[in-house]
Amino acid sequence: MNKGKIIAGVLAPHPPHLVYGENPKQNEPKSEGGWEVLRWGYERCRKNILAKKPDVLIVHSPHWNTIVGHHVLGLEKFSGLSVDPIFPHLFRYQYDLTVDVELSLAISEEIKAKGMIAKVMKNPDFRVDYGTITTLHLINPAWDLPIVAISANNSPYYFSNEVGQKQMMLLGEATRIAVEKTGKRAVLLASNSLSHRHFTKESEIPEDMSAEHVYSHGQYLWDMTVLKMMKEGRCAELLATLPEFIDMASAEVKAGALTWMLSALGIPDYPAEVHAYGTVIGTGNAVVEWDNDTN
Ligand SMILES: [Fe+2]
């Protein structure tokens, strides 16, 4: 068997608004569009990612929050209705997904080998969180690739940003080792926004783009600071900056997906491609691709 490889990583945020704006058949609420810059950015990124012919998509989502350990989906099939509890009027999505159980179990074993707690979700009625579903839909709306889903352990919230980051660095290493051992060509999806303060009132038409703008100038400047680091391949500096960014901009990267992915990619020193930046109800979101196949 050939040695597996992480062929790409994507910062792949999950505002349900982006799925709502696309009007796929799986989503019950219908829209007049909205948030096009981000959706078109996803389209460009999707083309690059799918052209690499990955075997599997691995997603880490803040909305599968686990208190004890890092969990993975451990059955071949999960299906059901995923509802965003904050925006149930925008996202009620009928999903049907296939898990790469071999890789899930391999990641679980490598997590344990790193001295951390791992658990495998085998409840067939488990409802997959909307962050995982949204990110996977936007990267591969055909749903014709197997996936691995990893939970967000709660350590950044129970302890500190720094403790959480350390856990996610180890989780990234465990993921890379498991991918290499199982011989897969894998794409990693870090499912989170950047700055995350948001408006608490929605306009009458949620997709009314005349009401959409960044929550604050300070938050925007923080997003530009971290995106510049990504574009210039300064990921070690980015990781060192994340705890401050999290505190200053309430950044959703706190939950660990970006740290996990950068660690699994070996802390890239090559430029990432920013496909889009845009706000959703005031939060900062970017679609960013690390091409780990050619770099
Ligand atoms: Fe979120």
CATH label of the domain that carries residue 137: 3.40.830.10
Confidence of residue 200 (pLDDT cuts 50, 70, 90): very high
CA 14, CA 45: separation in Å to the nearest integer? 14
Answer whether residue 157 shows pLDDT above 90. no
Number of domains forming the structure of the chain:
1
CA 220, CA 284: separation in Å to the nearest integer? 7
Pick the closest to residue 188 from 38, 7, 3 (CA basis): 7
Question: Ligand 1 centroid to 257 CA: how many Å?
Answer: 11
Question: Ligand 1 centroid to 52 CA: how many Å?
Answer: 27
Would you state the structure tokens that stand for residue 172, as one six-digit string?
A: 């990234």
Model confidence over 218-228: pLDDT tens digits?
999 999 999 99
Question: Ligand 1 centroid to 193 CA: how many Å?
Answer: 7
HSE-CB of 7 using CA atoms within 13 angstroms: 17
Question: Ligand 1 centroid to 113 CA: how many Å?
Answer: 30
Question: Ligand 1 centroid to 3 CA: how many Å?
Answer: 34
Pick the closest to residue 34 from 95, 87, 97, 96 (CA basis): 87
Helix or strand run (H / E) with residue 125: none
What is the domain extent for residue 77?
5-291
The 3-state DSSP class for residue 64 equals strand
Question: Ligand 1 centroid to 294 CA: how many Å?
Answer: 31
Question: Ligand 1 centroid to 85 CA: how many Å?
Answer: 11
Per the CB < 8 A criterion, the answer to whether 196 and 250 are in contact is: yes
Question: Ligand 1 centroid to 192 CA: how many Å?
Answer: 6
CA 21, CA 37: separation in Å to the nearest integer? 11
As a 3-state breakdown, the chain gives helix, strand, coil percent values, each rounded to 5, of 40, 25, 35
Question: Ligand 1 centroid to 239 CA: how many Å?
Answer: 20
Per the CB < 8 A criterion, the answer to whether 248 and 218 are in contact is: yes
Model confidence over 30-44: pLDDT tens digits?
999 999 999 999 999
Answer whether residue 1 shows pLDDT above 80. no
Question: Ligand 1 centroid to 15 CA: how many Å?
Answer: 7
Question: Ligand 1 centroid to 62 CA: how many Å?
Answer: 6
Question: Ligand 1 centroid to 273 CA: how many Å?
Answer: 22
Segment 167-188 mean pLDDT: 98
Q: Is the pTM of this model over 0.85?
A: yes
